[in-house]
Amino acid sequence: MAEKRKVCLSGSGLTKVFGLGRQKTVAVDHVDFNFYEGEIISIVGESGSGKTTLAKMLLGLLNPTEGEIYFQGKKRDIGTHKKKKEYWKSIQAIFQDPFSSYNIFHKIDEVLLDCIYMRVGRKIPYATKLEMMTKACSFVNLKFEELTNKYPFELSGGQMQRLMIARVFLLMPRILLADEPTSMIDACSRATILDMLMQLRNEIGMTIIFITHDIGLAYYVSDSVYIMEHGNIVEHGSADEVILNPKEAYTQRLINDVPKIYEEWDLSTV
Ligand SMILES: Nc1ncnc2c1ncn2[C@@H]1O[C@H](COP(=O)(O)OP(=O)(O)OP(=O)(O)O)[C@@H](O)[C@H]1O
Ligand SMILES: [Mg+2]
C-alpha cells in the first residue's frame, strides 16, 4: 500500500546573506528541501553552518535574501502582521536558549494563557483554562500548582525547557522547529523530552524539525536527515541512508566526531 506523503514545508534556492562587501557572510546558500507531514527531520551541521539562520527564515523571523519557501503547497505569504500571526498557529519553535523565549516580565500563568488565547481565543471559562494548563504541565512532568504566580526566571534551565514543551502542547502547531532543544538538560530528562516530542508526532502527526550538532541524536530520532556545511545542504536522505552510508567526507567526519564510550581513551595522542 503506497502511502501518499504530503509535503508541508519546502524551500527552493533559499539564501540568506548578511552584511555587504568584505563583511559579507553567505549564511545559507541556495538550499532546496522538502519536509513531509508527520516526519521527524534533523538538520545537522557544525557550528556556523547556517542551521539557525535557516530555522529563522522558516519561522518568518528573517527574510530570505533570495529563494522561496512553500507552505502546504503554496508560496508562503506572511506579508502582513495578520498573515504572520496565522502562519505562527501552524509553525512554532523551541530555541537553544530558553531564557530568550520568554518575556521575563510575564508570569508563567500568562505565558501559558497566551498559548490558549492564540489557539482557541479568550472566550472560555477559567475552569477550562485551568484544566488545559494543568494538563499541559503534567504532560511535561511539571506541576501547575508549583508554577502558578512564578516568573520563568525562577525556574531551573531544565524546567524552563519543559515549560517550552508545555507551550507546544497547548499551541499544537502542525510544525515544530526545535533548535538544540535539549542542550540544558541532563541525559535522562533529555531522553524524556525527546520521547514527549515523538509522542506528539505519533499522536497528532506533528512535523518536527530538529536542529543539532549531534548526528547520533539525529540518527536516533529522525526519519530524514539534512547535512549542512557552510550554508549548503551537502547530503540528505533517510537517516539510514545518510548516517549508515554517508557519501560525503564531511558527513563521515561528523560521524567520526561522535565520542564512542565503548572505545578506550588513547591518551598518548592527546
Ligand atoms: N544576524 C547576523 N548578522 C551577521 N551574521 C550572522 C547573523 N546571524 C548569523 N550570522 C552568521 O551566519 C553564519 C551561520 O550562523 P548560524 O547561527 O545560522 O549557524 P548555526 O549552524 O546555527 O551555528 P550553531 O551550531 O553554533 O548554532 C555564521 O557565520 C554567523 O556568524
Ligand atoms: Mg544555531
CATH classification at residue 60 = 3.40.50.300
Into how many domains does the chain fold? 1
Kindly state the average pLDDT of the residues 152-178.
Answer: 88
Kindly state the average pLDDT of the residues 140-158.
Answer: 90
Q: In Å, how far are 32, 105, 116 from 144, measured between CA atoms?
A: 42, 19, 15
Q: How far is the CA of 18 from the centre of ligand 2 (A)?
A: 15
Per-residue pLDDT at 33 exceeds 90: yes
The residues near 270 (Cβ < 8 Å, ≥ 6 apart) are none
Tens digits of per-residue pLDDT, 57-114? Answer: 999 999 999 999 999 999 999 999 999 999 999 999 887 666 666 677 899 999 999 9
236 located within any domain:
yes
180 located within any domain:
yes
Averaged pLDDT score across all residues of the chain: 88
- Cell numbers linked to 107: 508570569
pTM, rounded to two decimals: 0.87
155 located within any domain:
no
188 located within any domain:
yes
The protein residue with its alpha carbon nearest to ligand 1, atom 30, reads 48
The protein residue with its alpha carbon nearest to ligand 1, atom 5, reads 18
Enumerate residues lining ligand 1, CB below 6 A: 18-19, 25, 27, 45, 47-53, 213
Domain range for 238 is 7-99+174-269
Report which of 214, 203, 145, 216 is spatially closest to residue 169, judged by C-alpha positions: 203
Per-residue pLDDT at 231 exceeds 70: yes
pLDDT at 1 (0 to 100): 46
198 located within any domain:
yes
The protein residue with its alpha carbon nearest to ligand 1, atom 31, reads 48
Tell me the percentage of the chain whose pLDDT exceeds 70. 88
Closest-approaching ligand to the CA atom of 53: 1
In degrees and rounded to multiples of 5, residue 127 shows phi and psi of: -60, -40
Per-residue pLDDT at 216 exceeds 80: yes
Per-residue pLDDT at 10 exceeds 70: yes
Report which of 191, 226, 216 is spatially closest to residue 40, judged by C-alpha positions: 226
pLDDT at 69 (0 to 100): 98
Q: How far is the CA of 199 from the centre of ligand 1 (A)?
A: 31
195 located within any domain:
yes
24 located within any domain:
yes
8 Å CB contact between 42 and 221 = yes
202 located within any domain:
yes
pLDDT at 103 (0 to 100): 74
Tens digits of per-residue pLDDT, 86-102? Answer: 999 999 988 766 666 66
> What residues are neighbours of ligand 2 (ion), with CB under 5 Å?
52
